[in-house]
Amino acid sequence: MHRYWTAISVFLAAFFAVVVTLGFQAELNHARVHIAAAFFLVVAILFSHSLVVFFLIGSGRAIREAIHEKPWSKPYLSKINVFRLKSFPWALGSMVSGILAAWSGAGAHTMVWSTQTHRVVALVCLGTNLFGFVVEWAQLRANSRMIAELQAKLDAEEPSSEGAEETVGQEA
């Protein structure tokens, strides 16, 4: 998953740069392209960060089900919570900052707030998302490594299926 997240993060960071550039170049009355691009950016931000949240929830549950009865499972089960505790605040904060940037943009477009207010909120959103991308990537990578380690451990514990087939074949 961390490899997919890398591609998603790079795309969103580039898209973010385009939207911010359009925003700084747009005049208040001619901001249609910026508004349309920003709308899709906010949807992409919400989708990508919620994807990480749901992936970590789902993989954590699958890991729990696979190893909960193993005597060596305790450190791995606690790591699942560490991955979530480190990534969820940044994922949720990134989503909230995207929503706030959209709100402040709507306020700036309708002249409820100044354009400067929207620019500050949008730059905070950019910073939150860029840092969130890095934090979430690190946790997804650690989660992937743990899954690979657990898979190797579980495979090593299982009796070989070839030996079981030979035994069945000899009985007949």
Q: pLDDT tens digits for 120-158?
A: 999 999 999 999 999 999 999 999 999 999 999 888 887
Say if 170 falls within a structural domain.
no
Length, in residues, of the chain: 172
Say if 49 falls within a structural domain.
yes
Say if 57 falls within a structural domain.
yes
Question: Based on the structure, what is the number of domains in the chain?
Answer: 1
Say if 98 falls within a structural domain.
yes
> 107-110 contacts: CB < 8 A, separation 24 or more?
108/28, 109/28, 109/31, 109/35
Contact yes or no for 129/98 (Cβ under 8 A): yes
Query: What pLDDT does 120 receive?
Result: 95
pLDDT tens per residue across span 28-40: 667 888 999 999 9
Whether the predicted pLDDT of 67 surpasses 50: yes
**Cα separation, 66 vs 148, whole angstroms:** 13
Domain that holds residue 59: 2-154
pTM, two decimal places: 0.81
- How far CA 48 is from CA of 24, 57, 80, 81, 136, in Å, comes to 25, 14, 20, 20, 11
- Could you tell me which residues come within 8 angstroms of residue 6 by beta carbon, excluding any fewer than 6 positions away? 137
